[in-house]
Amino acid sequence: MSDFTFGSLPHKDLTSIAQLSTAEVGLIFDTAAELKKNRRQHDALLKGRKLAMIFEKDSLRTRFTFDVGMQDLGGHAVFMDHRDARIGARESIRDVAKNLERWVDVVVARTFKHRVVTDLAESCSIPVINGLSDYLHPCQALSDFFTLHEKWGGQVAGRKIVYVGDGNNTCHSLVHTAAKLGAHITVCTPEGYEPNSKVVNEAMREAVSTGSEVVIVSDPHKAVEGADAIYTDVWASMGQEDEVEERNAIFLDYQVDEELMALANPDAFFMHCLPAHRGAEVTAGVMDGPQSVVFDIAENRLHVQKAILVLLLNK
């Protein structure tokens, strides 16, 4: 029987990795590792607790892993589908929050506008977790770096991660997390598709104390030299469907193929948050090749999100 002692996060919510300290990211990783190793031993940690999942966007990984995660921990999840009428359309976000806090113990929101997540958090007395917004994807990035933490025996600091593609919400949270952990991150995008300057500035300020390096470039071949991991994402996110053709042309030279992977370190990992479009941002050979850890990351979404739930509710 495990003698692991579960701690707690001092924050009510988790809407951004920027709010976490390096030690708190480490606490999430330690908790996730325990929950993964001794999955059957902690099936009553959240017994009787209830999770509301508010989703404006389609989802496979976020929906399943939070739902299964609550079941694993002895709790229950209720799914609220807002794909047809976004939250705040029928009644105010504040009123939604004030109702939910009377019925459930924690909320996960997967939204278009980041402001919806922060408004929910500000209006709720219970924890709100950002399951994805147009600005950030914190649960994904924590799962990405937890996977690297596992693969590299906990030695993430000083490693070079290169993100190739659109400077989107996933990219923003990767930059935040790399800076917290002392990893070096290079973001390589076409001109005009760089990550948000606020995110980059936040990460650079953090990097002063952690030894991280945050670099923004446009040449993918130079960017990936010496990389320990190469990461990409779709070129057009949900809500940008009308830009697909234009973006495919602009990002053509940013495909992660076998040639680009060969410029990285021989043991470099390939990473993707999924869903992936083979033949677009990544070739099938790389996506399904021996260096790919994409499904390890998908598995770890379950354990990392369980850790977040436990640490927010274990007050």
Helix or strand run (H / E) with residue 120: helix 114-123
Q: What local confidence, expressed as pLDDT, does residue 242 receive?
A: 82
Q: How many CA atoms lie within 13 A of 181 on its CB side?
A: 30
Domains of the chain: 17-137+300-313 (3.40.50.1370), 140-297 (3.40.50.1370)
Has residue 84 got a pLDDT over 80?
no
Element (H or E) spanning 161, and its range? Answer: strand 160-164
Whole-number average pLDDT of the chain? 96
Residue 110 · residue 55 · CB < 8 Å: yes
What is the C-alpha separation between 184 and 95, in angstroms, rounded? 42
- The answer to whether the beta carbons of residues 293 and 269 sit under 8 Å apart is yes
What Cα–Cα distance (Å) separates residue 184 from each residue in 169, 226, 227?
Answer: 18, 11, 9
CA distance 137 to 24: 17
Residue 189: what are its φ and ψ, rounded to 5°?
-135, 160
Helix H or strand E encompassing 110: strand 106-110
Whether the predicted pLDDT of 105 surpasses 90: yes
Q: Quick one: average pLDDT of 282-305? A: 98
Q: Is 257 left (phi over 0), alpha (psi -120 to 50) or beta?
A: beta
CA angle, 256 then 261 then 263, to 5°:
125
Cβ distance 108 to 51 under 8 Å? yes
> Which stretch of 61-65, 185-189, 233-237, 298-302 has the lowest confidence by average pLDDT?
233-237
Phi then psi dihedrals of residue 31, to 5 deg: -70, -40
The confidence band for 237, taking pLDDT boundaries of 50, 70 and 90, is: confident
Q: Which residues are catalytic?
A: 110, 137, 140, 233, 273, 301
Give the model's pLDDT for residue 253. 97
